[in-house]
A = this chain, B = another copy of it.
């Protein structure tokens, strides 16, 4: 008992006894069981969970770095979960995090069904979404200007004279997949260009499939003169295809990426700071953790990270 008190620096223990405790602790190699302590104190160990779909994608690793940085500033650590684009795995991770009684969770959701997040939230754990707004859920979220960025890039291609602009995208069921396509469609519509389904492909999740999809389009009898790719995987896949075919059609893509400015063909990207996405999400989360409020009373917050169109010239 006295040791317990000494270790947490209780003023009721005399300084000399504290010193004796310290030396004994060091000699015996004792260290307090934080898990038991936290159980008794009814609090969790200063841990936040982070669920991303694919850490190998620089977008997510930069986001993770941002979350880690802010969490660290608040004295918290981050538990990492990689869902690998698998909804079941995401659900499992969130459930695991909830039963570990983490202090909060940041999720970049795979799909559009967020019921499993609801369950976690019900247990009193704050949840913040990144890159996608909550569905049937009252939760804070940090998002990108998906629509605006896509619209701007497509609009720019149109202004440059293109009328046959292909779209390479993520699955329509995802928020970003849908919003970025919507931005593309809106820009076409404003210019009076009808949507041509033959040059729209929306199922690519990696570079290889994006490259294949682009090659198929290039091989059509009436190929596009430009491509808008909805994320960095699609942009890089499209670049590989275009470059491989020695084609010189224009390319624009959502997401900036390393070496984008050093490629052999000009490229336009919708740029933003993925780290900022992570930082803002972690800030919202830490705020919820330190100022817990009844869900009903406080409205869910939304933060939108702006995007910027950047043109990389010929290197």
Contacts and interface: CB of A to CB of B under 8 A. Distances in A.
Interface of A: 26, 29, 31-36, 38-39, 44-45, 47, 50, 54-56, 58, 60-62, 64-65, 68-69, 72, 77-82, 95-96, 98-101, 119, 122-123, 236, 239-240, 243, 257-259, 262-264, 275, 315
Given A78-B80, A99-B34, A236 B264 contact: no
A77 B82 contact: no
A79 B61 CA distance: 14
B55 A264 contact: no
A79 B82 contact: no
Contact of A68 (B34, B39, B72, B81): B81
A239 B262 contact: yes
Contacts of A62: 55-56
* This protein's copies in its complex: 2
Contacts of A45: 35, 100
A63 to B, nearest CB: 10
A82 B68 contact: yes
Contacts of A61: 55-56, 58, 60-61, 64
Q: Which of A31, A65, A101 has the most CB of B within 10 A?
A: A31
Q: Which of A44, A79, A100, A263 has the most CB of B within 10 A?
A: A100
A200 to B, nearest CB: 25
B79 A77 contact: yes
A172 to B, nearest CB: 26
Given A62-B56, A77-B79, A262-B239, A101 B33 contact: yes
A31 B123 contact: yes
Given A39-B36, A100-B34, A262-B240, A82 B95 contact: no
B55 A64 contact: yes
Contact of A263 (B60, B77, B119, B262): B262
Contact of A80 (B77, B100, B257): B77
A250 B58 CA distance: 28
A79 B97 CA distance: 12
Contact of A35 (B39, B68, B72): B39
Contacts of A65: 54-56, 82
Contacts of A39: 33, 35-36, 39
B263 A236 contact: no
Contacts of A60: 61
B315 A31 contact: no
Q: Which 9 A-B pairs have the closest CB atoms?
A: A61-B61, A29-B122, A264-B264, A31-B99, A55-B65, A80-B80, A34-B99, A78-B80, A259-B259
